[in-house]
Structure 1
Amino acid sequence: MKNSRPSVMRPHGLPESASHPVVTPLSPSVVYASETPDALDDQYEGRVHGYTYSREGHPNADVIARRLDDMEGATGGVVTGSGMAAVSAVLLGLLKTGDHVIGGDQLYGRSLRLMKEDLPRLGIETSLANPGDVAAMRAAIRPETRMILVEAVSNPTLAVADIAGIAALCREHDLLMVVDNTFTTPRAFRPFEHGADIVIHSVTKLLAGHSDVMLGYVVAKDPALNDRMRVFCVTTGMTGSPFDCWLAERGLLSFDLRFDRAEATAARLADCLAALPGVKRVIYPNRTDHPDHARAADLLQGRGCNMVSFELNGGRDAANAFTRAAEGLSFAPTLGDVGTTLSHPASSSHRALTADHRARLGLHEGFFRVSVGLEDPDALCAIFVQAVAAATS
């Protein structure tokens, strides 16, 4: 009997339709077929746009990248498999052996580890300095310095960088200014408007916003830098999956609403915590007792974002009691979910640092970072009142 199976299997075309889908289609294909070798040359050499292999790019990555480009006022951004992949694309994709980079001394814990342990192993020298102290940044510059990496608002101490001062310093010394904008997001701050050369995001967090996506994003003003980072990401396999890109696009549709609601609740929660016995200090950019309040007001133009940090009296015992009593809240090393989450840097993001190093950063055992979600503000404050009472008893 003759085999009826065609010799070349091809996907069926989509049915013709006078209408179009409202939701971006998910394109999970790993490979894309071209008609001829000449057609493939045309794609690789930029004469036509097309896809070849999903590690090199796919439709869902392009859709989310263009949305993020629009939000940051940029073009040519690169979507990566995580926020740390975006950080790595900058540091490893643009620097070489013998170069020197300065980082803010209150970066996210894994960024600090990359700076302190991995880059030196590859012959890239690093220094850390207070991003709020331009004189300290200036003192760290060497002839081989190539860039300065800071977070606009630091994770998890919520220190506000002197962006204007660092931008001027970078222009003076012809350095790349790299800003991790994850906490602030384009809703509160657009780094390119303040002198940044490269902007980084962990899309996993507030932008996607539902704790079901692992993605990053990086974009430079200079198209040549974008090309270098894109090639590095393709070579090292840092590409984000189509499904995560598709989910992140869905999250972005509600981003502005989520951010504004969570920000308003965060301000309420910060004031609530500040009034509770047993709370040693509260850190929120819009509060007048924030050490960088004046700088935050100037930089963020009244935005406070959704992150609140605070410290309990009583150390680790109080921290354990607090999380046990915080019913309905997730104790998890993440941020940006629709629900409020609690993070304890000493046991999670900054656990690799020595106790002395954490103490210098103010990350004591009673220190918590709160990513405020979309709960009713009164109900959320009531949970914290109960949990703090349990911790102080």
Structure 2
Amino acid sequence: MTRNSRGSLVRPHPLPDSASHPVVTPLSPSVVYASDTPDALDAQYEGRVHGYTYSREGHPNADVVARRLDAMEGAEGGVVTGSGMAAVSTVLLGLLKAGDHVVGGNQLYGRSLRMMAEDLPRLGIATTLADPGDVAGVAAALRPETRLVLVEAVSNPTLRLADIDGLATLCRERGILLAVDNTFTTPRAFRPFDHGADIVIHSITKLLAGHSDVMLGYAAARDSDLTERMRVFAVTAGLTPSPFDCWLAERGMLSFDLRFDRAQATAAALADHLAGLRGVRQVLYPTRADHPDATRANALLGGQGCNMVSFELDGGRAAANAFTRAAEGLSFAPTLGDVGTTLSHPASSSHRALSAETRAELGLSEGFFRVSVGLEDPERLAAIFTEAVAQATSG
């Protein structure tokens, strides 16, 4: 059979040339990319020309998402990873080595706390937890071998505010990197680089993508050399994002500003509504005057509050079970940032690995809930919570 025989070419020819271009970013699922010659491949690897080789090392859909987030955060060359925790791992494992020490906020996301408590020490990286709102306490936790401080701008799930300005000054004076997980606040409400942070982390999975059908993360450093070290680690460890997830995330990010503003306004109204319900012990929302960090929240966020509300019911686990059963139309699920409102119970999900004593120290009782507010009608949402709280606490 000759080369020109019908069916002899397994792979199709390149796409036809076109004088126009697609409005929607094409999905590029190819794992491999062909080059013309070894010299052409050298030119790509040496950075003389831009191109793709193997999707673990980068692909067009990841670059589109990275450029969007770079523009939002004031970054350049950010790394998109397969999940938010992959982004955290990219920062910690890509920049630290055995013998180093890292200080983490004591109210980090549950899996970040587990990495601090178990995985980093197993690899010879010492860790200490401290209150990120107490700069003096963080300073006391520093050691000569401390290389990095990791905090969340707004903590998960207690919505406490880190003293980013104070921590940035401390870290700069000591020559230590400050990494800020900006997932809850998003660059719509807060930009860590503008406040002196060295590294920004996101779980794109959450509000940025916004539809509970994507799992992605992002990390970027102010220093391009640090970003490159993180990129090399992510590629080596295979923390590769799916092209399809990146394609979906870009779609979600196109409506991000609108979704954020609507959900944030509803969250503020819901927080005020919950505070007036009998059986609700406390409500946490950054713009409320009774928030423990209200002054700092106003200074850092400038009146923004994000789409997250946390509250505590009287009645413990029994009330929690009754509440989720009665909250008709709301998903009880360990996630956030969806177009629909979701309920999370940290004691049975994100922070279940912590001891009861540790959860109590963090304020995470059996009646504590985190609410990710979606795009529902605010009055309808308030009515659902009114009825659910009443049924949960009537006994």
TM range (shorter): over 0.9
SS in 1 for 2:115: helix
* Distance in 2 (alpha carbons) for counterparts of 1:231 and 1:155: 29
Q: 2:352 corresponds to which residue?
A: 351
Q: 1:389 corresponds to which residue?
A: 390
1:117-145 Cα deviation digits (max 9, x unpaired): 00000000000000000110000000000
* Distance in 1 (alpha carbons) for counterparts of 2:18 and 2:52: 24
SS in 1 for 2:184: coil
2:124 maps to 1:144? no
Alignment of 1:267-306 (within 5 A): 267-306=268-307
Q: 1:371 corresponds to which residue?
A: 372
* Distance in 2 (alpha carbons) for counterparts of 1:244 and 1:126: 33
- The CA deviation at 1:239 is 1.0
2:145 maps to 1:108? no
* Distance in 2 (alpha carbons) for counterparts of 1:71 and 1:108: 23
Q: 2:171 corresponds to which residue?
A: 170
* Distance in 1 (alpha carbons) for counterparts of 2:158 and 2:363: 8
Alignment of 1:45-124 (within 5 A): 45-124=46-125
- The CA deviation at 1:72 is 0.2
* Distance in 1 (alpha carbons) for counterparts of 2:362 and 2:100: 27
Alignment of 1:185-224 (within 5 A): 185-224=186-225
Q: 1:14 corresponds to which residue?
A: 15
Q: 1:248 corresponds to which residue?
A: 249
- The CA deviation at 1:360 is 0.1
Segments ≥4 residues shifted beyond 6 Å: none
2:237 maps to 1:236? yes
1:319-351 Cα deviation digits (max 9, x unpaired): 000000000000000000000000000000000
1:194 maps to a residue whose letter is: H
Q: 1:360 corresponds to which residue?
A: 361
- The CA deviation at 1:18 is 2.9
SS in 2 for 1:336: coil
- The CA deviation at 1:5 is 5.0
- The CA deviation at 1:6 is 6.4
Gaps of at least 5 residues in structure 1 are none
Alignment of 1:23-62 (within 5 A): 23-62=24-63
Q: 2:127 corresponds to which residue?
A: 126
* Distance in 1 (alpha carbons) for counterparts of 2:297 and 2:111: 25
- The CA deviation at 1:8 is 5.3
2:210 maps to a residue whose letter is: G
* Distance in 2 (alpha carbons) for counterparts of 1:336 and 1:255: 10
SS in 1 for 2:71: helix
Aligned length: 393
Q: 1:326 corresponds to which residue?
A: 327
SS in 2 for 1:48: coil
1:230 maps to a residue whose letter is: R
1:141-175 Cα deviation digits (max 9, x unpaired): 00000010000000000000011110010011000
* Distance in 2 (alpha carbons) for counterparts of 1:17 and 1:237: 35
- The CA deviation at 1:12 is 2.7
SS in 2 for 1:103: strand
2:148 maps to a residue whose letter is: M
- The CA deviation at 1:251 is 0.4
* Distance in 2 (alpha carbons) for counterparts of 1:283 and 1:241: 35
1:10-59 Cα deviation digits (max 9, x unpaired): 43332333322110000000000111111111111111111010000000
1:225 maps to a residue whose letter is: L
* Distance in 2 (alpha carbons) for counterparts of 1:11 and 1:352: 51
- The CA deviation at 1:7 is 5.7
- The CA deviation at 1:365 is 0.1
Gaps of at least 5 residues in structure 2 are none
* Distance in 1 (alpha carbons) for counterparts of 2:15 and 2:40: 22
2:248 maps to a residue whose letter is: L
SS in 2 for 1:320: helix
Q: TM-score, normalised by structure 2?
A: 0.98
